[in-house]
Amino acid sequence: MPGSRSSPLSEAVRAAYRAGEDDETMEPLVREDAAGRPIGRIRDGDYVLFYDIRGEREIELTQAFVDAEFPHFPRAPLTTLWATMIEYHPDLNVRVAFPPLEEVEDTLSEVVSGEALRQVKIVESEKGVHPTYFMNGKRNDPFPGEEWRIVPSQEFEGYLPPPEMRADAVANAAIEALRDPALDLVVVNWANVDVIGHSENREAIARAVSTVDTHLGRAVEAAVEMGVAVLVTADHGTVEKWYYPDGTIDTGHTDSPVPLVLVAPHLPGVKVRDGGTLVDVAPTVLALLGVPKPASMTGTSLLVGVGDAGGPSDRPRAALFILDGWGAREEAWGNLILEAHTPVMDALRASYPATVIEAAGEAVGLPDVVPGRPGKTVGNSEVGHLHLGAGRVVPSDRLRIERAIADGSFFENPAFRWAMEGARREDRSLHLLGIISFYSSHGSVEHLKALLRMAAQLAVPRVYVHGMLGRRGEKPESGAIYVADIEAECERLGVGQFVSLIGRFWSLDREHHWDRIEKTYRWLVYGEGRPVPGPQGAS
């Protein structure tokens, strides 16, 4: 049934804004029919297409529906059939529309392991998957000789942790590793700037930036003391471009380059070249270790004054320090990196070889042109860490999907057809579940619109949209605009109802906050949430 011209759900979102709620933590909204019954709940035998594209935050919600054994909260006695846009985890019982490309082999970690060198990855659990799973080419386990030291993130009330997070504990673990001469490569990620940068709290962001700067200084001091060559860089930008051109706050990622600094006073005369990208980082680390890069790495070392065989040490050691979300931009307006107190990073860039490298668009396998938007596709933590480890460009899932929409193969995808034809043949409902955003690294409303067009072509009888809102990378109150746009698209196509909405804080979790996932599950199955009155429809 087409959506109503009155855009009931978008009006409910605007009412939530007026009541002080935001997109990220919005309480669930559920449309009701004329009799006060929730419309479009997930029922036994229904088909679900989860169209998000990132993966790691989508696993828990998918598990709640498809795992045969699930101890985390009570579930309804129903069986549902799921397809996902990409592979969230190989063990999930789902169809996958865009399976992984061939495994990314010869990553930095694999090459280091193959040389019988020892390495350690240090990160707090909030970002645990990034320098491990993603940086290892989407591999779930460490390589031989590789250790993952995951510092537990803090428990906290509300949406954002304290700006300091566990940066001190990450630095302590890094210093311990740097002082262990048996470790050849030390990779460290500080998450603060990216995590806190998705807020509108200027003071908290400044504290996050300065906290990372302080603990970076502690780790660099230990590395210099031990003769370990350090590359300091980032995976993408965030708060260095905090404003849109009209002055509204941009809480998302950016298309800025990121800094790269080589701290290696024991390698006199070694410099770094300009014009690099994230794919050049892995070859650079290998050069510092004296390890030849494999032919599959198309990136090239950023070092000038030393060959690919590495430095003069008999047993060179290296460290890669990743300042998650720390972009590089010279313009001062809206640049919260420049505003923050960063004496360590300022001194490093002034005293040691430094440059900036590209971390967005085609340089990291993302579209270079965004239809209707200025600039290239912004970077993100998943793509950033994948390319830091891969040493070559890996086409992103977003790029593959958008090319499939453009050439028409999207509409013949076997996983999509299985779900849509199954729902039509068995007279079951089809549920389209995912992020409602244009810029989000989790997906795009354009992918949802393509699925709606396909459902119309295949005459699927009952199609329900369940959306997740998130402000990251979007202007204030943009969620209501996107919701109205999807409601209008349903009406134009004559297929689908946008029946429920929730803030992504509740639905996209990766820290095993099962109370949030249960809230989302009950929203989808039982219709628990604020009722949104609407015209009579299927329940």
| Among 478, 496, 476, 474, CA closest to 486 | 496
Question: What pLDDT was estimated at residue 371?
Answer: 55
Express each pLDDT in 81-111 by its tens digit: 999 999 999 999 999 999 987 679 999 999 9
- What is the torsional sign of CA 21, 25, 31, 37? negative
Instruction: Write the CATH number for 523.
Output: 3.40.1450.10
Domain termination residue (choose one: 376, 394, 412): 394
Alpha carbons 306 and 272: distance in angstroms, whole number:
10
Burial class of 417 by CB neighbour count within 10 A (0 to 12, 13 to 18, 19+): middle
Domain termination residue (choose one: 344, 361, 394): 394
Express each pLDDT in 351-407 by its tens digit: 999 999 999 999 998 887 665 565 688 899 999 999 999 999 998 888 889 889 999
Alpha carbons 31 and 454: distance in angstroms, whole number:
24
Question: What pLDDT was estimated at residue 3?
Answer: 37
DSSP conformation letters of 222-234: HHHHHT-EEEEE-
Longest C-alpha distance within the chain, in Å? 79
State both tokens at 178.
């740097």
Is a pLDDT exceeding 80 seen at residue 227?
yes
pTM: 0.73
The answer to whether residue 3 sits within a structural domain is: no
Express each pLDDT in 421-465 by its tens digit: 999 999 999 999 999 886 677 778 899 999 999 999 999 999 999
| Among 409, 301, 422, 430, CA closest to 357 | 301
Question: What pLDDT was estimated at residue 311?
Answer: 43
Strands, DSSP E only, in 18-103? 29-32, 47-50, 81-86, 95-98
Alpha carbons 193 and 209: distance in angstroms, whole number:
6
Instruction: Based on the fold, state whether residues 333 and 406 are members of the same structural domain.
Output: no
What are the residue ranges of helices labelled H in 325-367? 336-339, 343-351
**Total domain count for the chain?**
2
Instruction: Based on the fold, state whether residues 480 and 404 are members of the same structural domain.
Output: yes
The answer to whether residue 327 sits within a structural domain is: yes
Domain termination residue (choose one: 342, 372, 394): 394
Domain range for 355 is 108-394
Instruction: Based on the fold, state whether residues 136 and 238 are members of the same structural domain.
Output: yes
The answer to whether residue 133 sits within a structural domain is: yes
DSSP conformation letters of 2-19: PPPTT-HHHHHHHHHHHT
Matching residue, tokens 């005293």: 351
What are the residue ranges of helices labelled H in 2-119? 8-18, 59-66, 108-114
